[in-house]
Amino acid sequence: MTVKSKNTLPLTEALVFDIVSYLLEHDGTGFSNEISYFIVDNKPRRYTSREVVGILRNRPMFRHAKSEERQGGIKWRLDLGILEKYLLQKGYMERFNKLGLEQRVFDLKKSIIEKTQKCLEKYTEDSVNEIYHSLSEVWG
């Protein structure tokens, strides 16, 4: 009988970390085909495309992004607030920090805030629709 180490993650949770890492590298968003190709190409013996899409659909931190683009399937965004709750609930914060993802989350939050500030600096009464559209692009 083999004994599992406490340091190993279940495969589905390891896949969640891989997808989170990919999305953090791509400003928190990505199309399902791009995400799937990246994961399957880098870990071909571990995951299938269907498993990747299944995780995207069934984990609360992955949300549909509002996008008119359809270049590679559905556009997904990473909900950082729900990600933090998920990690705390599952007890994976230490693992998350060891992988260096905490700094990348901080950088993404900072980037989103800066983009929001830039949009709001352009605000005038005449530009309400344009600003609203810009903000919806940033916040997905």
The domains of the chain are located at 11-107
Give the residue carrying structure tokens 């994976």: 92
More confident residue, 85 or 68: 85
What percent of the chain is modeled with pLDDT above 90? 46
Assign 71 to helix, strand or coil. Answer: strand
pTM: 0.82
Pairing type for strands 75-78 and 29-31 reads: antiparallel
Q: Distance (Å, rounded) from C-alpha 86 to C-alpha 88?
A: 5
Q: What is the pLDDT of residues 7-66, one digit of tens each?
A: 677 788 889 999 999 999 999 999 999 999 999 998 878 888 999 999 999 999 999 887
- 122-to-125, 133, 135 alpha-carbon distances in Å: 10, 12, 11
Please check the confidence at residue 4 and state whether its pLDDT lies above 60.
no
Mean pLDDT (whole number) for 115-132: 83
Mean pLDDT of the chain: 86
CATH top-level class of 11-107: mainly alpha
| Nearest one of 113, 101, 121 to 138, comparing CA atoms | 113
Mean pLDDT (whole number) for 75-99: 91
Strand 62-64: give its sheet, edge to edge: 29-31, 75-78, 62-64
Please check the confidence at residue 5 and state whether its pLDDT lies above 60.
no
Report the pLDDT value the prediction gives residue 6, as an integer from 0 to 100. 57
